Structure 1
């Protein structure tokens, strides 16, 4: 959590610099940004390969403690993915159904009840993701 609080201003500053470069320099700046992005991606892949290689030497107690907490962290990551995916899906569904409901209400205001039911059904997707996350956390 602290890492995000430290990294967030840096990410915002990088976004501002990139946006300014793209506005002023055009295609040359876009090429430079793509090269930097490719380098960062390659570095991230190398770091991932080193982290997943598992060649680090550990004491037996540390290894058994790490293996015991691995299943709990996998369940928590799965719960986070379930909530995030369901929330994104619900947001997209509500965006489309809400826009269509407002368009229909502008022509026929008596359709308010039906339109809200359809938008509410789209919100149900997020609740399903929350239920799956609760089940995953309960299993851990």
Structure 2
């Protein structure tokens, strides 16, 4: 990337921090200013991220990558490049989605367990079993991701 593009990206990133503060402090003093400030911050940040991604993928680097891919296709040297990449994606998805599901399950079961324990303390053991079962979901996803990574 050229120096001008880098300066523009840094300026856009700095503006993504400064402009939402302006939208927050200079806007009307109501409840909507929080949402407006958050929307402005997200718009500038993800816009800068998308712009940086587009600009970094263009240019001489992609030409060199295309030539390397053509060489690999001609010689067949890097068999498994796509499969290993998809394996890493699968491992990441197994871990992240099981963690999200476990978090949702623990949030609901732990709050119900606390409510039940506050009424009758003798059911502490039973309620903790349900919370532990919800936490086990994340461990299962982690084990599956290790199994996937072991195949690569």
Check whether TM > 0.5: yes
Structure 1 spans left out of the alignment, 5+ residues: 1-9
Structure 2 spans left out of the alignment, 5+ residues: 1-9, 28-32
Q: CA 1:18/1:90 → structure 2, altered by over 3 Å: closer, same or farther?
A: farther
Number of equivalences:
128
Contact 1:22–1:30 under 8 Å retained in 2: no
Contact 1:80–1:133 under 8 Å retained in 2: yes
Higher helix share: 1
Contact 1:97–1:119 under 8 Å retained in 2: yes
Task: Report whether the alignment pairs 1:57 with 2:67.
Answer: yes
Which of 23, 36, 40 pairs up with 2:44? 36
Deviations 1:6-60 (A, max 9, x none): xxxx9xx9686466334303367567546535633653674698699xx832261
Q: CA 1:115/1:139 → structure 2, altered by over 3 Å: closer, same or farther?
A: same
CA RMSD of aligned residues (A): 3.9
Larger Rg: 2
1:119 equivalent in structure 2:
131
Task: Report whether the alignment pairs 1:99 with 2:111.
Answer: yes
Q: Structure 1 length normalisation: TM-score?
A: 0.66
Of structures 1 and 2, the one scoring higher in RCO (CA 8 A, sep 6+) is: 1
Deviation at 1:111, TM superposition (A): 0.8
Measure, in 1, the Cα distance between the counterparts of 2:127 and 2:93: 29
